[in-house]
């Protein structure tokens, strides 16, 4: 169901994935250096870690968080916490540029007044994947999800209302932002693969910032 709604220029357009799901092509590109610097500042405080699923399987992506709430997964289940368990201190504050970008992207996709209080930061290397899943651990399911891609390109999987539905496969590039909510808020999605390469700013990795309203 991909449809290019309109273009500002060849690098910025909105592609409709579903009824209320959109890809904002190149939306974050102009701020990439500042975003990358802020990501490194977050990681310097709350370092990367590999989480495990409740079933004990180690996730292939490296993860950290910033904002009032951070998303965790371990033997106790999926949940949000106010403190980084590695440091027993609050997660780093969400940089103002992060929240502004998320709010602007959400509004551009038709979701006004988005106020993210959690930012999950994932680092993908070539060979890492993320299976089809729903973002349903949030107390507020009325707010959209805003997902920012930086670095290496990735194959994004956009599924349906069940894990068994065959997903669309959309190639996301540096600076692309995916926004979904409303009737599509609980659609299954994932990352099929990371395309090999060496990005001039981030090197051999893809960074994903996922903004949510957790509480």
Q: Does 29 count as an annotated binding residue?
A: no
- Report the domain count for the chain: 1
Q: Does 189 count as an annotated binding residue?
A: yes
Question: Cα Rg for the chain, rounded, in angstroms?
Answer: 16
Q: Which of 17, 21, 2 lies closest to 146 in space, CA to CA?
A: 21
pLDDT tens digits for range 86-141: 999 999 999 999 999 999 999 999 999 999 999 999 999 999 999 999 999 999 89
pLDDT tens digits for range 12-58: 699 999 999 999 999 999 999 999 999 999 999 999 999 999 999 99
The whole-number average pLDDT for the span 74-94 is 97
Domain interval for residue 95: 16-212
Of all residues in the chain, what percent carry a pLDDT higher than 90? 94
Q: Does 211 count as an annotated binding residue?
A: yes
User: Nearest 5 degrees, angle CA 206-CA 172-CA 167?
Assistant: 115
Task: State yes or no: pLDDT of 6 exceeds 90.
Answer: no
Residue 202 is assigned to a structural domain of this protein: yes
How does the average pLDDT of the chain come out, rounded?
94
Residue 40 is assigned to a structural domain of this protein: yes
Residue 140 is assigned to a structural domain of this protein: yes
Q: Does 65 count as an annotated binding residue?
A: no
CA 81 → CA 14, 27, 132, 149, distances in Å?
34, 30, 23, 24
The whole-number average pLDDT for the span 175-188 is 98
Residue 31 is assigned to a structural domain of this protein: yes
3-state secondary structure of 19: coil
Q: Does 213 count as an annotated binding residue?
A: no
Q: Does 169 count as an annotated binding residue?
A: no
| CATH number of domain containing 176 | 2.60.120.590
> What single DSSP character describes residue 27?
T
The model's pTM is 0.94
Q: What is residue 3's predicted lDDT score, i.e. its pLDDT?
A: 52
Q: What is residue 106's predicted lDDT score, i.e. its pLDDT?
A: 98
Residue 192 is assigned to a structural domain of this protein: yes
Q: What is residue 140's predicted lDDT score, i.e. its pLDDT?
A: 86
Backbone angles phi, psi at 38, to 5 degrees: -70, -35
Q: Does 123 count as an annotated binding residue?
A: yes
Q: What is residue 164's predicted lDDT score, i.e. its pLDDT?
A: 93
Q: Does 124 count as an annotated binding residue?
A: yes
Residue 120 is assigned to a structural domain of this protein: yes
Task: State yes or no: pLDDT of 1 exceeds 90.
Answer: no
């Amino acid at each position: 169901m991909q449809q290019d709604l309109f273009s500002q220029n060849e690098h910025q357009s909105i592609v409709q994935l579903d009824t209320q799901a959109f890809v904002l092509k190149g939306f974050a590109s102009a701020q990439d250096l500042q975003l990358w610097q802020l990501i490194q500042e977050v990681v310097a405080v709350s370092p990367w870690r590999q989480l495990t699923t409740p079933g004990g399987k180690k996730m292939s992506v490296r993860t950290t968080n910033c904002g009032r709430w951070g998303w965790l997964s371990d033997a106790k289940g999926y949940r949000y916490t106010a403190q980084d368990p590695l440091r027993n201190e609050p997660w780093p504050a969400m940089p103002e540029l992060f929240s502004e970008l998320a709010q602007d992207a959400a509004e551009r996709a038709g979701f006004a007044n988005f106020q993210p209080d959690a930012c999950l930061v994932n680092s993908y290397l070539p060979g890492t994947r993320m299976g089809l899943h729903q973002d349903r651990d949030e107390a507020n399911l009325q707010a959209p999800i805003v997902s920012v891609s930086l670095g290496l390109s990735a194959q994004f999987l956009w599924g349906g209302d069940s894990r068994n539905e065959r997903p669309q496969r959309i190639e996301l590039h540096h600076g692309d932002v995916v926004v979904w909510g409303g009737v599509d808020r609980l659609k299954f999605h994932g990352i099929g693969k990371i395309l090999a390469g060496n990005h001039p700013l981030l090197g051999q990795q893809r960074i994903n910032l996922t903004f949510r309203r957790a509480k």
